[in-house]
Amino acid sequence: MTRQLTSISLFTGIAGLDSGLHKVGFEPVFCAEIDANAQATLFRWLSERRIESVVASDVTQIDPHNLREDLGFMLGDLDLLVGGPPCQSFSLIGKRGSLIDERGLLLFQMVRYAKAFMPKVVLIEQVKGLKSAPCLKNKKGGVLENLVCGFQELGYTVSYEVLRAADFGVPQIRDRLSSTKKTGLPKISKTLGINDIIALHFKLNHKLV
């Protein structure tokens, strides 16, 4: 019998990423979404699928080490940490405040939670503007460089690329940077559909064991 794959979802929104991941076997044990309207949709999504997940709002107000203990996880037990941190400060059509904008700093919450859980894989979805976003020293691409270094210091192998939604059957010209880190999951065998874009990328870019 195939065991249930576990995930923790940060910046969950209306469960867009989680919906695709759920179709390939992942069940979120914890979700965090600060927007009340999005959280209401998230609760409905979880309820319709009878998923018993702890739901919180502000990821910065949670101690991930305490959360791991509360969930009964040992280091390395969690299969997947997934998140789509706010993109406004990195978007090519915005003001591009980068890390001067406090929303940009939320990206590094992914590293903080990864350090506490040491999941087998971390998956991050962002706008392609992250590739060129300057760090506080004004170095072009410095934000992504710092993010990659943060995960490498934890022992993760990092890969990332820009994907276009239209290439996966979605009628939108929407480019997104998808970053995946570290392998170690049981093999997934399932036909993926239109809504599984990120899950598809995750599967194709890693040899899962």
Q: CB-based burial of residue 41 (10 Å sphere; 0-12 exposed, 13-18 middle, 19+ buried)?
A: middle
Q: Which residues are catalytic?
A: 87
Element (H, E) at 181: strand 175-181
Question: In sequence order, what are the residues at sequence separation of 6 or more whose Cβ sits closer than 8 angstroms to the Cβ of residue 160?
Answer: 144, 148, 177, 178, 179, 180
**Residue 81: closest CA among 121, 126, 111:** 121
Q: Cβ atoms within 10 A of the Cβ of 166, count?
A: 12
Question: In sequence order, what are the residues at sequence separation of 6 or more whose Cβ sits closer than 8 angstroms to the Cβ of residue 137?
Answer: none
Q: What is d(CA 209, CA 207) in angstroms, rounded to the nearest whole number?
A: 6
